[in-house]
Structure 1
């Protein structure tokens, strides 16, 4: 355990010393930490006695819980319904089409996979991660409406993907004959009903109690910040005990906080951002140290083909379809289609479903997901800065035509995850 802590501390410190310089280059924080993990993989795997794959799973699970809770706590439903037509299109049209097209591609490229394994692979790789294209969602040169649409899409699609991934995992699992359809329907019903019930209850009751205590002046700022992590973990733990889905519980707890409390949200978000960011980067480092090299070593031409299609056509065609009728510039369609990076959520989903289920071709499915996520960390990270600059020049040249991209929009509080 000590070598792991030592290496993690060293990498975080080293990155912190150049953290203001990195955003000006083609590198990103996730790319740096994945690279550090790969470079240090021999040290970690040979000197750490722990099961690192299991450790990644646990750290990743906690990370996703905090990110889901934090992202959901920033959602303002009134802003979403009033002004955010683009992310609604991306999530309501683009995401289902991405899963459908990804399933068809898996069926074509991997004939040995069952249809549900193909659907599971597509669902695992459907969520996007704005942290991998940091320059896109933070650059003032990119029209606010566009970067906000990509940011909100990234913040919400993790939670939307959770029940879809779990459903396909259940259908794809190689279960004994005694596990009837009724068993799985009952299991699924508990997951998607008890999870939200627990989440709303924890978020609403916990948030109101903290609001009350804050109004009385009973709560110190430090402990108000800690309460955010506590509420996320509480929702996660209770849902697990009652057989509800823990991730849906964390997400709905954040939604309840957003809609039912006032004083709690800002301090919860600030602290959760810091903790979530640290966990994300450590997860990326462990990901690089343990999972990347084996995935690349075992990759065949079909794995590479699917990874390339997943990052291009499987994402870009559904985005183009979802934007029909919006009158946006063709470069905007291409830009939004390209910047759909696959990152932490895909890695976490792949780890969780393959460790807790038995699939006929689980190892192949897992390796393709890891290969795709790794390629995305590299290509989306390194193209975010020049891509944003090129798109900015193209779209600014069209400003005189009153393009929709330049219309004012109320800033939504959801932010990219990694600074």
Structure 2
């Protein structure tokens, strides 16, 4: 059998399902990511498919770059569809989730890794850092709607903006884990790496990410909306520009050693702020969403294939299972709830925001990235734990999100099945 032709056939099926499945699944408690994982598992078990069983430990660089690409595309899309202007009061829920819930989650998960899994300081911190951020890729069902549609209630806004920013803000903790793991056992003091971490990995890289995101966003906003009409990028009506914006923002920031994830999201917010009501934002978002769905499906099909092959999850025991359940059912809900204490939102909305912190491809990217920088003790345990948490997260949230969001919308008198139409330019 010609493997190339079979691969083309499978790719064609995947592309068609990418377009068709979201519409079919909208009214039933089953998410698009779950279907992708199931398809990957079925393909891996099929004797006719050339789909490789790629162990991420053996294909670290490929895993890193594929997951990196889908995350930055998702971050651009998340930023473009937020209608709410940036502000301290208007984004209060976001700042609470980032400043309180995320650090609490990092240290709670790190403690679980140290106490239950027997991980050292570096590996435990790495586990907490890669699992604390919510995922902008797999959380589409609990995010705001496309630009200018009005689908931006507090729940959807909080989860969208949190996912957009916490992927980049968890990077300093990943870098701290790398620094700890890289220390020589003979080193007398940790002061040197701590100062370097604070100056470079925290202050400089965050500042560079925010600054480059704003600068690139302003430049692209000028070229898109402010130059004479005949030369405006917006006049093309071509959503393909979203991919160019994403790659420019990310690569320019990485070249000056800033956090590209932060820059991509800030670029999208800045672009929106320059001309908030243009319908071109919708065209950018629509193309980005299609590309994101395609990339996500391809990666989750591969994820399902890895799960079906079994070697990555072969060493799971009760300790890893307990950490996975505790992370999703205890750590995130409690830390999220603590961060929202004093807020004016009803308890039902606080509960949904606290619980729906899906973990996904961003965690896999961080782990692959860290493994490429230095060696960690018991890294196989970390991989097993992350893969199990992502799998449970995809399954549980994928089943729960549709009925839960439909219930809360109904309680507020909103018909979630009839979204508002996008406004014209």
TM-score (norm 2): 0.78
Tell me the residue number matched to 2:112.
105
- Check the 8 A contact 1:73/1:256 in 2, yes or no: no
Q: CA deviation at 1:227?
A: 2.6
Tell me the residue number matched to 1:416.
none
Closer, same or farther in 2 for the Cα pair 1:10/1:211, shift >3 Å?
same
Tell me the residue number matched to 2:381.
364
Map 1:106-185 → 2, pairs under 5 A? 106-111=113-118, 113-129=119-135, 132=138, 136-137=142-143, 144-173=153-182, 181=193
- The one of 319, 333, 336 aligned to 1:316: 333
Cα distance in 1 for partners of 2:86, 2:270 equals 16
Tell me the residue number matched to 2:271.
257
Structure 1 range deviating more: 382-391 or 96-105: 382-391
Q: Secondary structure at the match of 1:312?
A: helix
Matched, 1:289 2:292: no
Q: CA deviation at 1:339?
A: 1.6
- The one of 334, 339, 353 aligned to 2:370: 353
Relative to total residues, which structure has the larger helix share, 1 or 2?
1
Q: Secondary structure at the match of 1:297?
A: coil
Structure 1 range deviating more: 273-282 or 376-385: 273-282
Q: CA deviation at 1:259?
A: 3.5
- Check the 8 A contact 1:175/1:358 in 2, yes or no: no
Task: Tell me the number of residue pairs that the alignment of Structure 1 and Structure 2 aligns.
Answer: 396
Closer, same or farther in 2 for the Cα pair 1:259/1:163, shift >3 Å?
farther
- The one of 332, 342, 346 aligned to 2:359: 342
Q: Secondary structure at the match of 1:382?
A: helix
- The one of 262, 270, 273 aligned to 2:286: 270
- Check the 8 A contact 1:162/1:247 in 2, yes or no: no
Closer, same or farther in 2 for the Cα pair 1:294/1:221, shift >3 Å?
farther
Matched, 1:31 2:37: no
Tell me the residue number matched to 1:72.
79
What are the superposed Cα offsets for residues 251-307 of structure 1, whole Å, 9 maximum, x if unpaired?
Answer: 333343234455564443332222222222222222222356333322111111111
- Check the 8 A contact 2:225/2:232 in 1, yes or no: no
Matched, 1:55 2:69: no
Q: Secondary structure at the match of 1:33?
A: helix
- Check the 8 A contact 1:295/1:371 in 2, yes or no: no
- Check the 8 A contact 2:74/2:136 in 1, yes or no: no
Q: Secondary structure at the match of 2:124?
A: helix
Q: CA deviation at 1:378?
A: 0.4
- The one of 229, 251, 256 aligned to 2:243: 229
Q: CA deviation at 1:333?
A: 3.8
Q: CA deviation at 1:137?
A: 4.8
Map 1:380-399 → 2, pairs under 5 A? 380-389=397-406
Provide structure 2 residue ranges, at least 5 long, that are not aligned to the other structure. Answer: 146-150, 415-419
Q: Secondary structure at the match of 2:389?
A: helix
Tell me the residue number matched to 1:408.
none
Provide structure 1 residue ranges, at least 5 long, that are not aligned to the other structure. Answer: 400-404, 406-410, 414-419
Q: CA deviation at 1:54?
A: 4.0
What are the superposed Cα offsets for residues 98-143 of structure 1, whole Å, 9 maximum, x if unpaired?
Answer: 22222222222122x122321221121112236646555579xx99
Q: CA deviation at 1:46?
A: 4.7
Cα distance in 2 for partners of 1:96, 1:310 equals 14
TM-score (norm 1): 0.79
Cα distance in 2 for partners of 1:296, 1:24 equals 32
Q: CA deviation at 1:318?
A: 1.0
Q: CA deviation at 1:45?
A: 4.6
What are the superposed Cα offsets for residues 138-173 of structure 1, whole Å, 9 maximum, x if unpaired?
Answer: 79xx99333332333233322332333333333334
Q: Secondary structure at the match of 1:352?
A: helix
- Check the 8 A contact 2:168/2:259 in 1, yes or no: no
Cα distance in 2 for partners of 1:225, 1:143 equals 22
Cα distance in 1 for partners of 2:216, 2:85 equals 22
Q: CA deviation at 1:380?
A: 0.9
Q: CA deviation at 1:312?
A: 1.0
Matched, 1:9 2:12: yes
Tell me the residue number matched to 2:99.
92
Q: CA deviation at 1:390?
A: 5.3
Aligned-residue Cα RMSD (Å) equals: 3.7
